[in-house]
Amino acid sequence: MGKLDGKVAVITGGTTGMALAGAKLFVAEGAHVFITGRRQEALDEAVRQIGRNVTGVQGDAADLDDLDRLYETVKREKGSLDVLWASAGGGEPALLGEITEAQFDTWFGLNARGTLFTVQKALPLLNDGGSILMTGSNASLGAFPGWSVYAGSKAVQQAWARIWLNELKDRRIRVNVLTPGQVATAKQEELFDEATKRRFESLIPRGRMGRPDEIATAALFLASDDSSYVNGMELVADGGTTAI
């Protein structure tokens, strides 16, 4: 028996990285998964890799019309939803003094505004007893120079999880934040050279980055009834980086 048998899950930004690893695991545990991403080719490839019980919906998680289209598709194909993992997010470094309006608007537009509307627009479809998880970042817990816009745009989630679970308690919908540290993904490859990656790894007690599947198992815990008594919490999966 799977931990998500018969459940319907939406995962935004699910065509690569930890969310793709999560989508594969959710399907292996019995769910039907809707994944999103902006690039159609990457979406098609992810759907191919997952292989079954998956629907790819092209779209930008920062675009409210795209979010409407996503949920129209979920409603048409499955009628309702049990698990929402708002994972689409991103950032780029900029030191205070050099931050542009465009950088602020882009990353708050996706990580904060996009996440809020991803959750709000899902509400009419979410079944009672459902689980919402949002991908934060341990950048919000540390003091990494250059990452204030990114950290700020993710830090809102901890407040939202607590307020929303209170607003949704009559529907028994749980809201948690999954907070990864450095994880080896395509985005990492794009952003950081080898020396920067080694510098980040020197901050991790075990000396090497997380793997996408190590975040996927934490996401499965929060998505499934294994975490039925966990609500409004931040699960930090960063190998202890911000604990020491």
Ligand X SMILES: NC(=O)c1ccc[n+]([C@@H]2O[C@H](COP(=O)([O-])OP(=O)(O)OC[C@H]3O[C@@H](n4cnc5c(N)ncnc54)[C@H](OP(=O)(O)O)[C@@H]3O)[C@@H](O)[C@H]2O)c1
**Of these, 45, 53, 73, 90, which contacts ligand X (CB under 6 A)?**
90
For residues 116 and 123, the answer to whether their CB atoms sit within 8 Å is no
Q: Answer yes or no whether residue 36 interacts with ligand X by CB under 6 A.
A: yes
Exposure on the CB side of residue 162, measured as CA atoms within 13 A: 6
Q: Answer yes or no whether residue 89 interacts with ligand X by CB under 6 A.
A: yes
Which residue in the list 107, 150, 160, 221 is annotated as catalytic? 150
Spatial CA neighbour of 11 closest among 27, 3, 2: 27
Q: Answer yes or no whether residue 135 interacts with ligand X by CB under 6 A.
A: yes
DSSP line for 84-120: EEE---------TTS--HHHHHHHIIIIIIIHHHHHH
Judged by beta carbon, residue 128 or residue 189, the one nearer ligand X is 189
Q: Answer yes or no whether residue 69 interacts with ligand X by CB under 6 A.
A: no
Spatial CA neighbour of 196 closest among 147, 140, 136: 147
The window from 6-14, 74-82, 97-105, 217-225 that contacts ligand X (CB under 6 A) reads 6-14
Q: What is the rounded distance in angstroms from the CA atom of residue 175 to the CA atom of residue 157? A: 10
Paired tokens of 38? 């902006």
Judged by beta carbon, residue 2 or residue 109, the one nearer ligand X is 109
Judged by beta carbon, residue 130 or residue 136, the one nearer ligand X is 136
Q: Answer yes or no whether residue 158 interacts with ligand X by CB under 6 A.
A: no
Q: Which residues bind ligand X (CB under 6 A)?
A: 12-19, 36-39, 42, 60-62, 87-90, 110, 135, 137, 180, 182-183, 185-188
Catalytic residues: 150
